[in-house]
Structure 1
């Protein structure tokens, strides 16, 4: 039991420990609320441990420590503030404190530190300028490389085959969505074909049932009359649905009909040919 308690006491602080960015965020919050000493203690500890990864984090930490020393009554406050301001300027020589949140005396002191060390900061500024140019050149080269690769892929891609499809007005009047398929409206064509196929088969099946119920004299036996009437009604209703869908298909296909269409992809299209002996309906496949 004692070992378990010791293990919990050891593990819990590790689990609860904040990461360096979280500690820096807490220091920034404390600094904004005027808790300068506590903010300085946290930021100074982060800098001493060298756990901050980005330039922005290092700049924030050095700014907090420098200003906190400047606002304090520490006997070496000016020397310490100058030390951390110089560390900040060594990261970003052109950094500017925010005049809306920084007292004029602190702004003046910071600019004085910059001016006194301008000669030492100039090489750093030049190196940063060259590094920025190098990064920009690298990014431009990377974009050119990707653009060239994209153009190469496009040049190797097979050319788009275009052809002129001539449509036939005769297909507009055919059932089962033939006009819709010709116009490229496959959804409507499939829907109309399905409706007409189901209605047509239902009507045909009902007709066969009605005919099969007749006796040798072509009449219905009394027990079969009700059944015959039911299937006869189904026959006419389903037949009406078939012809209504056919009529709708004609009107819809006529509205979207175009004599010629320029296509860019392989297509299967109905084809009608007319000769002296009659007409034929087929399917053409183009690649």
Structure 2
């Protein structure tokens, strides 16, 4: 008795496979005879759900084709689409190449299959495009982060000694040394203007004075011009002096023993090439 039971247990997988093969053959024959209800009855137990109850991949693939076709021809369109979708998802490597044999499946069946196939292809393409866009955004974020790091690496901030003697030099020198470029520019431009004005009026006055006394006689022709130049020279010199003193006092009051200096440092060109970046006087940028 034990031997008989053991024999039945060992023989059961073979018997089950034989039954599946027989049911599949019967289903194909029923499909050829237009008996679509029988096709559904025979194949639904095997592939009626997303997870097939049989392990033979080829058998599952072919059974889904016939069951999907039977659903189409019996008006069960949604079930047919599900069946074809599971068929294509089970064979994802053939998503774009799989087709139904036109000698077996009529146009109505093939149309439903191709509609499902097109939907899955569109979904896959969209998913791939979304993934690529996400990867591109991630690459760009990383690239911008690297650019920021390189910008920071390009600049050294150091403390240097700030000598006191230049604080007593006019023309905004003290302001520039203290790091106040705006105020330094103001004193440089304004002092230079009034210095040149004072120098010019003095030079012209000397020249006209020489003309006035040339030839051993006093020529009064230039007296009016000399009278006009004298106050202009005096005012220009006075304003220059006031500005120079004000600039020196301001620079001395703002003076600190040390000052912060930012220095640019060159980045290795090999690093820029690997990151597809370029260096310019304005900083690091993306190479186009």
Q: Which has the larger radius of gyration?
A: 2
Q: TM-score range by the shorter chain?
A: 0.3 to 0.5
Larger % of helix: which? Answer: 2
Normalising by structure 1, report the TM-score: 0.39
